[in-house]
């Protein structure tokens, strides 16, 4: 490094060199390990500027931030429709989370979540469904259980029919109310 000569003509020797910075904990820079990711990202991403028309199938999960028209079939995986996502498709997946706009029927093996700000217009078949306050849903819901049809015993069925048809199974307050209406 160039250093101007002193004005008085004396030579002070070479200029001091700055010392190399050392880490505070005496580790060398080669010991550096990158930070671990906060979340495990094992999904495909359809970005905000992408438009896909057709069929999406596969064996991995997907985050949709762009536009999709057609069908999405990812059984055993999840579909996450981001806040900027606009989907006009029928979806089949293990789980679906809606934060954006979805128009189409949804069949999930486990759970459907419609989050605040999300909207779904279409019919749903699911074991579990969650609709947060501030979300929009218009359609029908078919709640399926563990895959086994519920067997109603003949005794339960016949006792229900007998009770529902007889006047004695009615509430006394309801009978009083009806009697007061007919008296007027």
pLDDT for 10 equals 58
142 or 5: which leads in pLDDT: 142
Angle at 84 between CA 76 and CA 75, to 5 degrees: 10
Helices (H), the chain: 154-165, 172-183
**Structure confidence by residue, pLDDT tens digits, 52-78:** 999 999 999 999 999 999 999 999 899
CB neighbourhood size of 104 (10 A): 19
pLDDT for 11 equals 58
| pTM recorded for the entire structure | 0.59
- Containing 184, the helix (H) or strand (E) segment is none
pLDDT for 1 equals 57
CB neighbourhood size of 52 (10 A): 16
| pLDDT > 50? residue 46 | yes
Distance CA 115, CA 130 (A): 8
Tokens of 29: 């820079």
pLDDT for 79 equals 95
- Containing 36, the helix (H) or strand (E) segment is none
Pick from 1-15, 30-44, 63-77: least confident: 30-44
> What residues does each domain of the chain span?
43-143
């Amino acid at each position: 490094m160039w250093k101007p000569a002193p004005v008085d003509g004396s030579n002070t020797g070479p200029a001091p060199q700055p010392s190399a910075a050392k880490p505070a904990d005496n580790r060398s820079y080669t010991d550096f390990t990158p930070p671990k990711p906060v979340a495990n990202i094992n999904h495909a991403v359809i970005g905000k500027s992408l438009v896909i028309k057709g069929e999406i199938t596969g064996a991995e999960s997907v985050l949709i931030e762009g536009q999709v028209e057609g069908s999405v079939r990812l059984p055993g995986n999840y579909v996450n429709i981001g806040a900027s996502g606009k989907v006009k498709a029928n979806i089949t997946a293990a789980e679906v989370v809606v934060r954006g706009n979805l128009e189409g029927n949804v069949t999930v093996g486990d759970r459907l979540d419609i989050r605040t700000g999300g909207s779904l217009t279409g019919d749903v078949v699911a074991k579990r469904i969650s609709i947060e306050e501030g979300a929009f849903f218009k359609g029908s819901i078919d709640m399926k259980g563990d895959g086994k049809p519920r067997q109603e015993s003949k005794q339960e069925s016949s006792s229900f029919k007998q009770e529902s048809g007889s006047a004695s199974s009615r509430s006394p307050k309801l009978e009083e109310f009806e009697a007061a209406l007919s008296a007027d």
